[in-house]
């Protein structure tokens, strides 16, 4: 069992109810191999906390962007928010916090790397927000989000990282190669509540990249982003 005291010191919060903290790090797969009760309570996975944390995250980031960019229209703010709370951004924040070292995973999931681990980290980050919200209230969750994510906003806006990857890939491919990219479903796996899709991004017959996501749309965006990187665009 990880030493969660270390994580509490890292984020500057001491949980009143340790159950919330442990649950935030518990992946569904872990319960399949560890059915016994822990410390007198029935262990839960983190998906309900993730659901709550996602809503809190969106509200906090919306409030922040609304105040930070008073002249920006709704469409721009929506794009900025999407970039700030997407899987890539929040998994990077989770990685920086060292959350990977505290995850409770099955032996199989523990071997996963790349996009699969990125998704698990992003979900755990949202679950941690939900845990803080339940344990210490909105302001604690807001403070946590602010410290981990708000600093990314300027870079996202200045480097136009908020732009839709598929749109950018299509625009550049048409401009440089005269071809509209296409996408093909390569594989899908997992139960209905936890689907994973693999999508290939193509320019003509050439497969440029493979993206992964919890939906086809997310996988296509991931594939487009990787294609831009692969082409140096």
Catalytic center residues: 54, 126
Q: C-alpha angle 152/144/90, rounded to 5°?
A: 45
Q: And the tokens for 113?
A: 């790397």
Instruction: Count Cβ neighbours within 10 Å for each residue of 67-79 and write b for 16 or more, e otherwise.
Output: eeeeeeeeeebeb
Q: How many CB atoms lie within 10 A of CB 125?
A: 29
Distances from the Cα of 1 to the Cα of 21, 25, 163, angstroms: 13, 11, 41
How far apart CA 8 and CA 218 sit, in angstroms, is: 32
């Amino acid at each position: 069992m990880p030493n969660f005291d270390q994580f509490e010191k890292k984020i500057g919060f001491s949980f009143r109810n340790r159950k919330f903290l442990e649950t935030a790090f518990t992946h569904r797969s872990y319960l399949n191999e560890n059915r016994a009760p822990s410390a007198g309570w029935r262990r839960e996975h983190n998906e309900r906390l993730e659901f709550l944390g996602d809503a809190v995250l969106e509200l906090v980031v919306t409030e922040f962007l609304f105040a930070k960019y008073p002249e920006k229209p709704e469409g721009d703010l929506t794009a900025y928010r999407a970039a700030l709370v997407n899987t890539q951004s929040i998994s990077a924040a989770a990685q920086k916090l060292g959350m990977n070292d505290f995850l409770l995973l099955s032996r199989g999931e523990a071997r996963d790397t790349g996009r699969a681990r990125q998704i698990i980290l992003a979900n755990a980050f949202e679950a941690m927000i939900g845990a803080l919200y339940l344990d210490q209230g909105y302001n604690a969750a807001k403070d946590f989000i602010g410290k981990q994510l708000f600093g990314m906003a300027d870079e996202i806006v200045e480097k136009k990282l908020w732009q839709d990857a598929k749109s950018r890939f299509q625009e550049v491919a048409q401009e440089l190669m005269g071809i509209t990219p296409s996408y093909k479903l390569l594989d899908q796996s997992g139960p209905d509540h936890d689907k994973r899709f693999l999508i290939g991004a193509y320019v003509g017959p050439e497969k440029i990249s493979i993206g992964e996501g919890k939906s086809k749309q997310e996988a296509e965006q991931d594939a487009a982003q990787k294609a831009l990187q692969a082409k140096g665009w």
